[in-house]
Chain A
Amino acid sequence: MKRLMISVLAAATFTFSLLGSNAGYAAAADQLQDLQAAGAGPFSAAAGQALWLRDNDGRSCAGCHGSDPARPGKHQKTGKPISPMALHANPERFSDAAHTEKWFRRNCRWTLGRECSAQEKGDVLTWLIQP
Chain B
Amino acid sequence: MKTSMNTLRYLTGTLLLGAALTLGLYGLSSLNHQSLADDDDDHHSDRSSHQPALPAASPGTRLADAMQYQDECSSCHLPYPARLLPARSWEKIMTSLTDHFGEDASVSDASRAELLAYLSANSASNHSRVLAGLEYGETPQRITELPYFRRKHREIPARMVSGNPEVGSFSQCDSCHRNAAQGKFNEHDVAIPGFGRWDD
Q: Which residues of A line the B interface, CB within 8 A? A: 75, 77-80, 102, 105-107, 109-110
Does B107 touch A at the CB level, under 8 Å? yes
Q: Smallest CB–CB gap between B76 and chain A, Å? A: 6
Instruction: Identify whether the interface residues of A are mostly helix, strand, loop, or mixed.
Output: helix
Contact A80 B77 (CB under 8 A): yes
Contacts A78-B76, A78-B77, A80-B76; A105 near B106 (Cβ below 8 A): yes
- Given the interface pairs A75-B76, A79-B172, A80-B76, the reply to whether A110 lies near B103 with Cβ below 8 Å is yes
Q: Which of B78, B98, B104 lies in contact with A107, CB distance below 8 A?
A: B104
Pick the residue among A77, A102, A105 that contacts B103 (CB under 8 A): A77
The 10 A-B residue pairs with the shortest CB-CB distance, nearest first, are A109-B104, A78-B77, A106-B104, A110-B104, A110-B103, A78-B76, A75-B76, A80-B76, A80-B77, A106-B106
The size of the chain B interface, using a CB distance under 8 A, is 17
Q: A79-B172, A105-B106 known; 17 other A-B pairs, CB under 8 Å?
A: A75-B76, A75-B77, A77-B103, A78-B77, A78-B172, A79-B168, A80-B75, A80-B77, A80-B78, A102-B107, A105-B104, A106-B103, A106-B104, A106-B106, A107-B104, A109-B98, A110-B104
B residues within 8 A CB of A105? 104, 106
Does any Cβ of A come within 8 Å of B105's Cβ? yes
Q: Does B96 contact A (CB under 8 A)?
A: no
Measured in the bound complex, the distance between the Cα atoms of B76 and A107 in whole Å is 12
Across the two chains, which residue of chain A brings its CB closest to B168?
A: A79
Report the bound CA distance from A77 to B101 in whole Å.
10
Does B105 lie within 8 Å of A106, measured CB to CB? yes
Question: Counting chain B CB atoms within 10 Å of each CB, which of A75, A79, A107, A109 scores highest?
Answer: A79
Closest to A98 in B: B108
Q: Which residue numbers of B lie inside 8 Å of A, CB to CB?
A: 75-78, 98, 101-108, 168, 171-172, 175
Chain A residues within 8 Å of B106, by CB: 105-106, 109
Chain A residues with Cβ under 8 A from B108's Cβ? 102
> What are 15 A-B contacts defined by CB distance under 8 Å?
A75-B76, A77-B101, A77-B102, A78-B76, A78-B172, A79-B172, A79-B175, A80-B75, A80-B78, A102-B108, A105-B104, A106-B103, A106-B104, A107-B104, A109-B98
A36 nearest CB across to chain B (Å): 25
For A79, what are the chain B residues with a Cβ–Cβ distance below 8 Å? Answer: 168, 172, 175
- From residue A76, how far is it (CB to closest CB) to chain B in Å? 10
Q: Closest residue to A113 on the B side, CB-wise?
A: B104
Q: What separation, in Å, do the CA atoms of A110 and B172 have in the docked complex?
A: 21
Q: Across the two chains, which residue of chain A brings its CB closest to B97?
A: A106
Are B104 and A78 in contact, with the CB atoms below 8 A?
no
In the complex, chain B residues whose CB is within 8 Å of the CB of A77:
101-103
Across the interface, which residues of B come within 8 angstroms of A78, CB to CB? 76-78, 171-172
B178 to chain A, nearest CB (A): 15
A110–B106 CA distance with the chains assembled, in angstroms: 11
Contacts of A106 in B (CB 8 A): 103-106
CA distance A107 to B102 in the complex (A): 12
CA distance A75 to B168 in the complex (A): 13
